Amino acid sequence: MAGILRYGSYVPYFRLKRQSTQAGGRGERAVASFDEDATSLAVEASREAIRDADAPSGLLFASNSHAYAEKLNAAVLHAALDLPAGIRSLDCSGSSRTGLTAIGLAAQLSANSSTLVAASDITCSAADGSAESVGGDGACSFVVGPDDRAVAKIIGSSASTEELLDVWRSPNQPYSRQWEERFGEQVLTPALTEAFQAALAEAGLQSKDLAKVAVDATSDRISKSFLRQAGFSPNRWRTT
Nearest to 162 by CA among 205, 207, 222: 222
Nearest to 202 by CA among 154, 161, 162, 160: 154
Residues of the chain with pLDDT under 50: none
The class level of CATH for 2-151 reads alpha beta
Q: Residues 185, 222: contact at Cβ < 8 Å?
A: yes
Cα 40 to Cα 65, 129, 189, 203: the distances in Å are: 12, 26, 35, 37
- What is the reported pLDDT for 231? 81
Predicted model pTM: 0.88
HEC string for 182-203? HHHHHHHHHHHHHHHHHHHHHH
Distance CA 94, CA 102 (A): 12
Give rounded-to-5 percent helix, strand, coil for the chain. Answer: 35, 20, 45
CB–CB of 167/177 below 8 Å?
yes
Give the phi and the psi of residue 144 in degrees, each rounded to 5: -105, 135
| Domain regions of the chain by residue span | 2-151, 167-236
Among 66, 118, 64, 119, which Cα is nearest to 87's?
A: 118
> The dihedral of CA 30, 31, 35, 40: what is its sign?
positive
What was the pLDDT predicted at 13? Answer: 94
In this predicted model, what pLDDT tens digit does every residue of 128-154 receive, in sequence order? Answer: 666 667 778 999 999 999 988 889 998
Backbone angles phi, psi at 190, to 5 degrees: -60, -40
- What was the pLDDT predicted at 182? 80
Q: Would you state the pLDDT for residue 79?
A: 97
